[in-house]
Structures are given as structure tokens and as C-alpha cells.
Amino acid sequence: MLPDLTQEELLRYSRHLLLPDIGLAGQRKLKGASVLVVGSGGLGSPIALYLAAAGIGRIGLVDYDVVDGSNLQRQVIHSRATVGRAKVESARERLVGLNEFICVDTYDALFSAENAAEIAASYDILVDGTDNFPTRYLLNDLAVFSGRPYVYGSVFRFEGQVSVFDARRGPCYRCLFAEPPPPGVSPACGEGGVFGVLPGIVGSLQAAEVLKLILGVGDPLIGQLILCDVLDMSFQKVALRKDPGCKVCGEHPSVMQLMDYEAFCGVGVRGQVDAVPEMEWSPQELAEQMAGTEPPLLLDVRAEVERQVSEFSGAISIPLEQLRQRYVELDASRSVLVFCRTGTRSARAVQWLRQAGFERVYHLRGGINAWAEQVDATMRRY
């Protein structure tokens, strides 16, 4: 039985009540619904805000990160006052402040195969507000196994994607992406950047799909993928097909339970490549090596645009995506120290260079930002 609305709620949602496709019955559906939003960052911010404003009765938020100042360029659910706090608590405070008639559950934890089913058990719809492949495959498989819709969204630089995967009525995420891309091919926004308003556009579209699913109105994006490019403000709708050979939702599935998705995607937590301690130097260790008689060759694998902010004098610049073609420019007989902004791309570069025969190659733990914090305060961080 759907919950009733109080007089205060009737006034609050009056603009919904005026819409023939929503009305009182639809608003009661929204109040009786429960939605799990995994991720409280760029996408999770507009998703959660608009779901709360619309009157979704119960919203679950999953995230294990804390608010950082660099998040505020796009993660509009947070504020300067909540920097350093858990993202789920910062987001919950904002949502409850926006709508006192809703319930917000928080899960300050890494969403993984070990806890996903338990966390998501009592929610009607699963929504992706993340930026990594392991969580996308996990959400998809969980949705297929439990017979629920998975509202997908992703952003990178100036482009975004939105779809609704529901294996009961159409394809699942694995029908479109049967295998994850090799590590580093599709970097997260922390490596490749993202236009600040883009998550707002994509996240709002995801929120709209959630509301349509609950209300039973319109044409949800099941079997359809929206591609948007904000540079020319173009939107394309691509038809998707269910794959009969899909390992999860196909005619003869081979994946029957949740798995180790980090291993499946070949990455570590948050989509990062795990570094081997023997292959990395701390900023202090690099400072000692540079002061020695045989300083290492410095290799910068950041994009050219990043060097406008900060750079090591004398470093060789080879962006990560060009490394396989240009590694011959490096002297394999010397020690090579690879660095990027925070250490993620350099860890990938070191692993590949080791496989290519470089025996004395290391990466800078924490990247050039850690160097600026711990060694050279005159260097700018970003």
C-alpha cells in the first residue's frame, strides 16, 4: 500500500500534482520508492539532489571517499564546509536539508562483491554514480541476478553516456561491453579531466530515468544509449541489442554469481593499477637520488596541458598514451623515474616499461603533487 502525503507534502510537490502523468497517485509512488545511488561525487550529486527534491521516500548513498577541495568543481552536493568529511555524510546533510520528508541511508564503505547484495537488498533501483569499471560490472551483475533495473551513466572530459539496463526487458551492460578495456585506456576523471557541468547534465538524465521507471511513464532508455557531447551540444540515441551469448543474461550464462571485479578489470581499488613497492620511490627517496652522483632520468607521462601548471626541469615528456610508440627515446641503461599528477598513470607506465625490458624504472609515489607537498613547496599542485 502506497504511503499518503501530508498537507505539507501536498504543497511541496504541487507542481508534480498538476502533471496528468504524475498527479497524487504518482507522487505517492515516488514516496514509496527506494533507490540506491552508488557514488556521491560528480554524477551522484545531481542524481541524489533531484531524487530527493522529487520526493523519493528512501535514498541510499554508498561511498567510502572523503570530500576534497578539488571535488567542488563538479560535485555540487558538497561544500567548502564539508571538505575532509565523509562524502556520504556530507551528501546526507545536504539532502535532508533539501527535503525533510525523505529518509537517507548512508554506507561509508567500498561497494564490493562481498557487501553489494546486502547493501542493495531493500532498494528498488540501482543507480551508477561512479567512475570505474569494476563497480559498473558489479552493479550490472547484481541487477541481473536480482531482477532490478540498473541506471547507468558515465562522463569523460566533454562527453557522457546514459542508459537503463534491465535484463528482463532488454540488454544488460555486458551485452554492450562484454569485456572491460585494458587498464589505462579509459582513465577516470582524476586523470583525464571532466568539464564541470557535464556530470550535472548526465546525472540529471539519470535521475529522470529513475523517476520514469518508478512512475511508469514515458519511454525509459531500455535498449537505448544516449551519447552526448557538450562541445557541440549534440545528443545521439543508439539502439542496443540483447546478446544471446552474454555471459550473464544470455541464453546460456556462465557467470552465475558476483565475482572479484577488480581482478576481472585488471585494476585495484577505484580502478587504479596496483603499484609494486619495489617499483616506486617516495618524494624523499627521489630527492636523495637527484642529489646523488647519478641522478635518474625523469619521465613525465602527463598530458601536455598539465605541464602548464607544474613541471620538473629537464624531464622528458612522453604522455602515457604515446609511451608504447616512443619508449625507444629513453636510455634503458639509466635509472628512470616516472611521474604523473598523483601516481596512477606512472604506475601503469612502470609496469609496461618493466615488461619492455627496463630493469631500473620506478614511479613517484603520490606523483608531482606529493613532491610539491613534501619536498618543494614552490611547485604548484592541481
172 in active site: no
Helix axes 23-32 and 198-215, enclosed angle (nearest 10):
110
Residue 40: name the closest of 123, 122, 117, 135 by CA: 135
Spell out the SS3 assignment of 5-22: CCHHHHHHCHHHHCCCCC
Query: Which residue of the set 175, 228, 246, 340 is catalytic?
Result: 340
| DSSP code at position 190 | H
Residues 108 and 122: their CA atoms lie apart, in Å, by: 17
107, three cell numbers? 554506507
249 in active site: no
What is the CB neighbour count within 10 angstroms for residue 26?
Answer: 22
Query: Which residue of the set 175, 189, 228, 265 is catalytic?
Result: 189
What is the longest distance spanned by two Cα atoms in the chain?
Answer: 78
Residues 347 and 366: their CA atoms lie apart, in Å, by: 10
Burial of 333 (0-12, 13-18, 19+ CB in 10 A): exposed
Which residues belong to the active site?
189, 340
